Amino acid sequence: MNIQLTKDGKLKHFLTTEGLSKEILTEILDTAENFSSVANMPVKKIPLLRGKTIINLFFENSTRTRTTFDLAATRLSADVINMNISTSATSKGESLLDTLRNLEAMSCDMFVVRHADTGAAHFIASNVAPHISVLNAGDGQHAHPTQAMLDVFTLRQQKGAFEPLSVAIVGDIMHSRVARSNIHALKTLGVKDLRVVGPRTLMPKDIEDLGVEVCYDMKRGIADTDAIIMLRLQRERMQGELLPSESEYYSMFGLTEEKLKLAKPDVTVMHPGPINRGVEIESSVADGKHSVILQQVTNGLAIRMAVMSLTLGHQSEESA
Amino acid sequence: MTNITNSAATSIAIKNGRVIDPANNIDSNTNVYISNGIITHIGDKAPADFSADQTIDASDKIVCPGIVDMCARLRDPGQTQKGNIASETKAAAAAGITTICCPPDTSPVIDTTSVVELIRSRQESAGMTKIVPLAAITKELGGENLSSMASLKKAGCVGVSDGRKPIANSMVLRRAMQYADTYDLKVFLSPIDPWLSQEGCAHEGKVSARFGIPSLPEATETAAIARDLALVEQSGIKIHFNQLSTKQGAKLIAMGQKDGQKITADVSAHQLFFTENNLCSFDSAYHVRPPFRTIEDRDGLRDALKSGVIGAICSDHQPHEPDAKIGPFPTTEPGISALETLLPLTMKLVDEGLLNLSGAIKKITTGPATILDINAGTLAVGSIADVCVFDPDLEWALTENEMLSMGKNTPLLGQSMKGRATHTIIDGKMVFER
C-alpha cells in the first residue's frame, strides 16, 4: 500500500514522486496549469481552501521555499501558520512526535514539512491523525517532490512531450533530494535519455538502478540534451574530501557558455536556486536566453497550489 | 503459559527426546539423566542409583545443550530503561539460552573488576541464564589506554572487546592484541572502519541511492578486517570477528583461516534473513548496525556459515525502549531485540535446507562455546547440565505480550515463528518450563 494515496488511489499526502503513477503526476501538472493564470488576475485569490488551516513546519531554515508554500496557501484562501521549529520546540528537547501531537490539537488540515533527516516526512505522515495531509518540502537527501514537479512543469511548458527528451542533471547528485525527486518524476513521465553528471565523489553508488546513465564527463553528459538541470553545490562541500576547490569544480562541471554549445540549440537551462554564480553556472548562462530559472520560481507557486488543493480536496471526499 | 521455575529438583530425567549433541556427534532417541548439576548419563536405561525428582517427557522434542549466545546486550548497568539483567536473562532462559556473552559497552564500561562483580551479583540474584562478560580492550572504550586485562580475566571475563567502538590507532590495537595474548585472552573485534562509518545508517547501494539514506559502504567492514588480519600476521594471536555483514568480509576471513591464522567469526541471526530491501518503508525496526546489505551479501554469509568459516550464530540482542525507535529512520537507535527469535530463526535455516538439524544446533551451542573457550555447549557425561528442550514444530506468534525482553523492537513482531524452548535447565536446575 502506498502511504501517499487514499483507499481509492487518490493523492492524500505528497511525500515523494516515487511510486506515483503517470496519471497522478499529470493531474498535478494539469491542475497547476489551471492555477497559473491566478497570478495574472486583479484579485489573486480563490476561495478553494477557505476555512482550512495549513501549518508550515520547517525544521530546517528555508525562507524561499517556505514563502512559496505560504503564498500558495494564501492564494487558495487557507489560513497559514508558520512554525520555525529549529529555533523552538526541538531545542527545548521536545520530541518530534510530541510537537506533532500539540499541533494536531489545534485542529489543522495540513502540515508542510521540511526536515534535515531522510524519511522525516514519511515518519510524520505515518503518525498524524487521519484527517491531516502532509506535504514534503524536503527531507534530508531523500525527496523534494514539489521542486521536482515545478521542474517538470516548466519543462512541459518549454518542450511539450517528455518521451523524446534528453535531460541531464548536473552536480551534487549524492546529497540532492531535488535530483532524486526529479529522476523519479522524469522517468515516470516517460523521459528515456536521462543522465546524471558529476564527479564520482558526488555520485551515489548504484544510482544507475534508477534508470539513469552516469557521466563523469560534463561534455559528454550534456551533449545534445534538450534540458539541463543544474544543482546547487552546498558551500561546505566545495573543499575537503569531496572536492578540491570551487575553481576546479567550476572548470570541470560549471555550466559555461562554452559548454552549453554542446547541448541542442534550443536547450532549456534550469536550476532550483539559489544559484552560486561562478561555481555551478556562469552568470551569463543563468541570465541568458536558455535559462528559465525565474519561470521555475513562478511555476513553483502554481505547483504548490495544485498539490495543496488536490490533497485537501481528496481528503474531504474521503471523510465525506 | 510460561512458567519461570526454580524447582528444588536435583535429579532430572529427560525421556524419549531426540538428543542432539553436536559436540559429541550424538543424534539419537534416548534419555538424558541429570544429578547434582551434572549430566550423569545418556542412554535408554537410568543408572542403577538414579532416582528422578522430576521426569520430563520429551517425546517429539529435541534435547540439546543449552544455547550459548555469543553476543547480547543486557543494558545493565547503565541503560536500564532498555532492559536489565533480570528481565533479559529471564527472556533468554525462556528462549532456551543458558549462557550469554555480553560486550563491555555497559555504563560504566566493563573496564574494572567492580563492574564484573556487579554484573555477577545481579545475575546470581536473577538466577536465570549465566553471563560471561567481555572486558574492555581500552579504558572507557576510548581506544587509547589498555584496560587491566589480567585482573579482568581473573574476575571472570572470557575475552576482550571494545564493543562497536573501533580502535582507530593501529599501534594501540596491535599492542592490545599482544597484551591480551600474554594472558591467553581472545580479542573480539567488530570490524568497523572509523572513517567509513560516520553518519551512515544503511548499506551503500541501490536502496541508499534511491532513498538518499546516509550510507555505510562494504569497505566499512572489509577495510577493518583487512587491517586487523594484517596486525595479527602470523603471530598466533587469537581474534574473533563479531557480526559479519558482507560476503567479502567472510571471504577475507576464509583466506586468513586457510593461512592458518586463529580467526573465528559469527553472524547475527537477522543478517541471514534480511537485506537492504527491507528498508524501503523507512521502518526503524530494520535499523541495525552493521546494516542489512545486499541479497548477495546475505547469501555469502549463509555460504560461509555452511562451510564453517562462520562458526556461530548470535542474537546480537539490543533491546530498546519504544522512544528509541520513534522518529525519522536515521535518528532512531540501531538494534533488534532478538533473544527470543534466535532459536526459531536458526531452525528456519534447517527448514530452508541450508543446514541440517545437528549443524544448526552446533552454531548456537558448541560453536560459540568453543569460540568463547567456556565449559558449555555440550551434553558430555560429567559436564555442567545446561540443557535446552525444544519443540521444533511448535508454531507461535511473536507478539509484544509473548516477549519477555523489555525491548519489543523487532521487525518480526506479529509474525509466526516455528520452534520454541519448552524446558531450560541451567546448572542442573529447571529454571523454565512451558
pLDDT band at A95 (very low <50, low <70, confident <90, very high): confident
- Where does residue A224 fall: left (phi above 0), alpha (psi -120 to 50 degrees), or beta otherwise? left
First-to-last CA distance in chain B? 6
The fraction of chain A above a pLDDT of 70, given in percent, is 95
**What does the pLDDT look like over B285-316, one tens digit per residue?**
999 999 999 999 999 999 999 999 999 999 99
* SS3 assignment, position B204: coil
Which of B204, B206, B329 lies closest to A209 in CB terms? B206
Cell numbers linked to A139: 527531507
Q: Cis ω on the peptide bond leading into residue B77 (within 30° of 0)?
A: yes
The fraction of chain B above a pLDDT of 70, given in percent, is 98
- Give the residues across from B330 on adjacent strands: none
Chain A environment of B210 (Cβ under 8 Å): 18, 180, 209-210
DSSP H or E run through B11: strand B11-21
Identify which of B363, B344, B355 has the alpha carbon closest to the alpha carbon of residue B402: B344
HSE (side-chain half, CA atoms, 13 Å) at A38: 26
pLDDT at position B82 is 97
**What does the pLDDT look like over A167-220, one tens digit per residue?**
999 999 999 999 999 999 999 999 999 999 999 999 999 999 999 999 999 999
pTM of the model: 0.93
**What does the pLDDT look like over B310-337, one tens digit per residue?**
999 999 999 999 999 999 999 999 999 9
User: Letter for the amino acid at B80?
Assistant: T
Task: Look at residue B27 and tell me whether its pLDDT is greater than 80.
Answer: yes
Contact flag B209-A207 (C-beta cutoff 8 Å): yes
- Average pLDDT of chain B is 96
The complex scores an ipTM of 0.90
Find, in chain A, the residue whose alpha carbon is nearest to that of B217: A205
Check: CB of residue B277 under 8 Å from CB of residue B207. yes
Choose the mutation target among B279, B282, B296 for the interface with A, i.e. most A CBs under 10 Å. B282
Q: Give the Å distances, CA to CA, from B99 to B74, B340, B374.
A: 12, 14, 10
Chain A environment of B327 (Cβ under 8 Å): 95-97, 117, 123
Find, in chain B, the residue whose alpha carbon is nearest to that of A95: B327
Task: Look at residue B1 and tell me whether its pLDDT is greater than 50.
Answer: no
pLDDT band at B236 (very low <50, low <70, confident <90, very high): confident
